[in-house]
Structure 1
């Protein structure tokens, strides 16, 4: 038997090895961020105050101010985290949650709060294929009032072709249910199927990405005395979307990023007021920078632009949002 001093030294080494193995088995990360910004359209509404309604012989109506484009300054706050645990070399578990709040300085009736959670299983095949499937759930508040709930599942597969290229397939399904009985007319189920690609450039400082997806919103609002035909005013929705973007490191502590997305959506029900089936085309642009003045601290200025064109005037809008966010990561 080794002497006592040797046994103590050996035990310390064994404990250190065990701690390293445990760290590899269980990983966790978290973040906190706060920000300030200005939004030219906090309620995603049209700027046209008077509209002609075909069902009333194109009589002109004036919209309520709450349904018109409204600008405001805002503050934002968010926190969240995720824990993953490897059961063995192939299988693992994960769970995470996020809380996000956005408060407007004057237009508080459009304040929002979202709580989202997720948990599931991962499977890794020799590091080349990564599968992930799990459940999701969320709650959304509008103006400090419980607005709607969501539940569903998500699944994705990533394949690493090379150190520079990854492809992915993903699927999501969710149930969205409004709490206020007067709003249940807007209940819907959503299914999304898509594929993505990520490419690292030869300089190892820049990445590009792209994705293509199909989405279907199934109109599931119940039949009620106030809604005898059931469903939303515009019915089911089918969409096709595409997104592309990239990120590049300008310096060791700074990255620039940008993305552009387009989505086309068609509804299958003739709107009873506007006597036509709604079609939308949505464009969005995002650009900004991440400055890491410390390995755990990030300052992010960002600009977002969105424009929705619709053949029904009340759904047309544009929006510009500029913000500055400070983030602290915990790893």
Structure 2
């Protein structure tokens, strides 16, 4: 896969290693494992993320976990507005100050929402985001991603940086050894693909694992209903199928269906071999299967 073209530097003064450490010391910030904080300090990396997202002047971008503002500054250079959701009150308080110091002419494009991204509601946001671009906290990356995609249908494209292993799982295809619940659920919302790898040396503190970029383009014309009730029904089948991964679907789904016989009936009605295993089915198959419970 070819690397995306990295845009030329705009008016924002992006953060480097020295600036990141200086700001952290000034604000009394010590990165915590609990919040999954690893701050990006490489300007080319954040420009690459913005480029891979394909966002521009018409976009309102939702950024989760902006931290000290490395990616925020790069986004403000090219988009109409950035809504930064930050759980850490200290970081949320100082982010506007950092942007005001380093890109004063762009400061009015930033809106900060102090909230937990796992629970943030649309009515807490000042506008409807058109894109999600974020270095997600690695310990809650998948739940945050699925919550935001489910809660904010206005998000048309997502470009997230996650732990490399998680990126591989999200973008995996049926039959892959790493294909599982994240792969199927992400595929419910749109087309998922890897958008590159990111090394460890662009972060402070340096993480023990590499990172990966994942892009999700929401279906322009969804092939199935996207309402909350339907999504919950489909996700319940997915969870049941992978809870006992080594079993056939007839056995794994017996609890969900009420009995092995009923599970087999529903599988056959959905055009699925009852002796197949969960990792062989694509998202569309799970949608068909969920419809058999009605």
TM over 0.5: no
Give the TM-score of the pair, scaled to structure 2: 0.29
Structure with higher helix content: 2
Q: Larger radius of gyration, structure 1 or 2?
A: 1
Structure with higher strand content: 1
Give the TM-score of the pair, scaled to structure 1: 0.26
